[in-house]
Chains A and B, each alone.
Chain A
Amino acid sequence: MIASVREQFPILHQEINGHPLVYLDNAATSQKPQVVIDAVKRYYEWENSNVHRGVHTLGSRATDAYEGAREKVARFINAESSEQIIFTRGTTTALNLVASSYARSVCGPGDEIVLTEMEHHSNLIPWQQAALAVGATLKYIPLQPDGSIRVEDVEAIVTERTKVVAIAYVSNVMGIVHPVKQIAEIAHRHGAVVVVDGAQSTPHMKVDVQDLDCDFYALSGHKMCAPTGIGALYGKKALLESMEPIEFGGEMINDVGLYESNWKELPWKFEGGTPIIAGAVGLGAAIDFLEEIGMDAIEQHETQLAAYAMNRMSEIEGITIYGPRERKVGLVTFNLGDVHPHDVATVLDAQGIAIRAGHHCCQPLMRWLKVSSTARASFYLYNTEEDVDRLVSALIQTKEYFGDAT
């Protein structure tokens, strides 16, 4: 399977600094298969027009393509209906929408928003700002030494004052899959909603928002083979209907007067301006591509690769790997002795291997780990055991290089 998958990603077939590219920065963004590139190209060549307004044929084609993509997203995460899928620029915009519209209207002074220290800045700052604006309190679920959270700690921290629990399904640094379904059950018992940051889960595993019983779920297209600039927010219908838009104008209006206006029904009331039509079309094509391979097959491939990577990387003398030993998700964050992650990333880049170095948009988590930055290798459906082998031998060489250079 893997060879035929790789074949479909043109960018992978190039040399970087004289070596075949090994792309291991998938948690930052994934590469795009030819079918997605072609879908965007075809849209601009044959269908481009504005949506929901042209009487002409191209207007209908563009609208069908855009709304067709919405149905694919709804099916992909098993939403009850496509009207519960709001297209956004990505996970960050989706989470900001919930924080700005929902949280600021339901939270008052003394109410609580529950998070973890492990959240990506995009699932932390919107809540922090909402809490500051309305006088709500932020509470953090304590982390275990391996970065995991315990359900009993969630039980203890969520109270009748809790209005929102926001958590990533999969941590972008620790590779941990959080027990979102159980967290949702606890939150609901206390009358709180659960907001799930699905940026790192949606590309890698089967997601069923009805089974999770989450109230909101945010995802990014670009981490799952789609173009940048497109993502989605899922929400329970009653919640979305109760919320006010935060962007006004263009696509979202129903009737506009000089002194008052009202809005379209779901999902369009949240989609002000001309939407990211080509991006949505690309996301639809990416979902078709992933479903054809099968999310179960992708998950299985990555779980095997993660186990292989953990085994091989653990053998490297002086390496520190953050997070639990066992992991389902193909993501390994580490430090190589006292070699700075930037230096590691530069030496690897010289051998054509792309990894991420830095704080991964998780400064509070870096402080919790007591490091200023880390290196991260993250895998996707097109990565192979040979990629891991090249990573491991390059890391060993990096250690030697910095050892010898003194």
Chain B
Amino acid sequence: MQLDDLYRRVIMDHYKNPRNRGKFDEDAVTIDLNNPTCGDRISLQLKVENGVVADAKYTGEGCSISMSSASMMTDAVKGKSLDEAISLANRFSSLMKGEAVEFEEYEDIEALSGVNKFPARIKCATLAWNALRKGIDAK
């Protein structure tokens, strides 16, 4: 078991220097999700305009995997149509199953591929993406 498979430099960068952390003042789709087994929680906000994710922010508490995943996800979905965002979420699910998938539009996400070898941590990585799906369903 190689720890560096899990904790890649790019993951630690997103953890220590989170992108899109914060809250919108104005109304936005807000999804609060938590992981009851470990206490991790995320509050994701999406601004959707004309079927496009115009902007995304999040706040929350959690481990390096859950928070870096949220940082990457919010960066990746910005400017994407809702269909494209769902496609990203689907590819992320495949990544967690150990399938070889590419994220040419946001390569940082591929750094999370190592999580697949740590079954107990997959739920950490998917928390933000589950919030995204809920947010899109709510639209």
Q: Is the CB of B40 within 8 A of A372?
A: yes
Does B65 interact with chain A (Cβ within 8 Å)? Answer: yes
**Across the two chains, which residue of chain B brings its CB closest to A19?**
B1
Report how far A309 CA is from B63 CA in the complex, Å.
25
Chain B residue at minimum C-beta to C-beta distance from A358? B38
How many contacts A-B (CB < 8 Å)? Answer: 52
The interface centre, meaning the residue of B1, B12, B39, B41 with most chain A CB atoms within 10 A of its CB, is: B39
Q: How far is the CB of A402 from chain B (nearest CB, A)?
A: 8
- Chain A residues whose CB sits within 8 angstroms of the CB of B120 once the complex forms: 346
B118 in contact (CB, < 8 A) = yes
Q: Is the CB of B7 within 8 A of A342?
A: no
Which of A346, A359, A405 is B39 in contact with, Cβ under 8 Å? A359
Contact of A358 among B3, B7, B37, B118 (CB under 8 A): B37
A364 to B99 Cα, complex, angstroms = 40
Give the residue of A340, A346, A372 whose beta carbon is less than 8 angstroms from that of B118: A346
Closest to B11 in A: A405
Is A18 an interface residue when CB atoms closer than 8 A count as contact?
Answer: yes
Contacts of A347 in B (CB 8 A): 3
Residue numbers in A under 8 Å from B38 (CB-CB): 342, 357-359, 373
- Least Cβ–Cβ distance between B7 and chain A, in angstroms: 6
Digitize A356-388: 1 where CB-to-B-CB distance is under 8 Å, 0 elsewhere.
Answer: 011100010010000011000000000000000
Interface residue B102 (Cβ < 8 Å from any Cβ of A) = no
Residues of chain B lying within 8 A (CB to CB) of residue A373: 38-40
Residues of chain B from 1 to 21 with CB closer than 8 A to chain A in the complex: 1, 3, 6-7, 9, 12-13, 16
A342-B1 in contact (CB<8A): no
In the complex, chain B residues whose CB is within 8 Å of the CB of A357: 38
Let me know if B9 and A346 touch, CB within 8 A: no
Q: Which of B6, B37, B38, B120 has the most CB of A within 10 A?
A: B38
Do the beta carbons of B12 and A342 come within 8 Å of each other? no
CA distance A17 to B1 in the complex (A): 6
Give the nearest-CB partner of A16 in chain B: B1
| A261 within 8 Å of B (CB atoms) | no
Is A346 within 8 A of B6, CB to CB? yes
Is A44 engaged at the interface, CB distance under 8 Å to the other chain?
Answer: no
Please tell me which one of the listed residues B1, B9, B63 contacts residue A340 in the complex, with CB atoms under 8 A apart.
B63
Query: Is the Cβ of B39 less than 8 Å from the Cβ of A363?
Result: yes
Q: How far is the CB of B66 from chain A (nearest CB, A)?
A: 8
Task: Select from chain A the residue with minimum beta-carbon distance to B121.
Answer: A346
Check: B79 CB closer than 8 A to any chain A CB.
Answer: no
Q: Does A350 contact B (CB under 8 A)?
A: yes
B39 lies within 8 A of A372 (CB): yes
B35-67: CB near A (< 8 Å → 1, else 0) gives 001111100000000000000000001111100
- The answer to whether B1 and A358 have CB atoms under 8 Å apart is no
Cβ-defined contact, A372 with B61, below 8 A: yes
Interface residue A343 (Cβ < 8 Å from any Cβ of B):
yes
B39 and A350 contact, CB distance less than 8 A: no
* B89 CB within 8 Å of chain A: no
**Interchain CA distance A12-B15 in the complex, whole Å:** 35
Does A405 contact B7, Cβ atoms closer than 8 Å? yes
Q: Which residue of B lies closest to A366 (CB)?
A: B39
Verify if A406 is at the interface (C-beta below 8 Å from B).
yes
A344 CA / B121 CA spacing, docked (Å): 12
A350–B63 CB distance below 8 A: no
- Answer whether residue A401 sits at the interface, using C-beta atoms and an 8 A cutoff: yes
A347 — nearest CB in chain B belongs to which residue? B3
Contacts of B73 in A (CB 8 A): none
- Are B41 and A372 neighbours in the complex by a CB distance under 8 Å? yes
A359 to B12, CA, bound (A): 24
Contacts A405-B7, A405-B9, A406-B12 given; does A342 touch B65 at CB 8 Å: yes
Q: Cβ of B72 < 8 Å from any Cβ of A?
A: no
Chain B nearest CB, measured from A347 CB (Å): 6
In the complex, whether B95 has a CB less than 8 A from a CB of chain A is: no
- Contact of B3 with A342 in the complex, beta carbons under 8 Å: no
- B85 close to chain A: CB less than 8 A: no
B8 to A, closest residue via Cβ: A405
Measured between alpha carbons, how far is A340 from B16 in the docked complex, in Å?
Answer: 12
Using Cβ atoms and an 8 Å threshold, which residues of chain A touch B77? none
Question: In the complex, which residues of chain B have a beta carbon less than 8 angstroms from the beta carbon of A358?
Answer: 37-39
- Determine whether B82 belongs to the interface, using a CB cutoff of 8 Å to chain A: no
Minimal beta-carbon separation of B108 from chain A (angstroms): 15
Which 6 A-B residue pairs are closest in the complex by CB-CB distance?
A342-B63, A340-B63, A405-B12, A373-B39, A17-B1, A358-B38
- 13 A-B pairs within 8 Å (CB atoms) are namely A342-B38, A342-B62, A343-B64, A347-B3, A350-B1, A358-B39, A363-B39, A372-B41, A372-B62, A373-B39, A402-B64, A406-B12, A406-B16
**What 13 additional pairs, Cβ within 8 angstroms, besides A342-B65, A346-B118, A402-B12?**
A17-B1, A343-B7, A346-B3, A346-B120, A349-B1, A350-B1, A350-B3, A357-B38, A372-B39, A372-B41, A401-B3, A406-B12, A406-B13
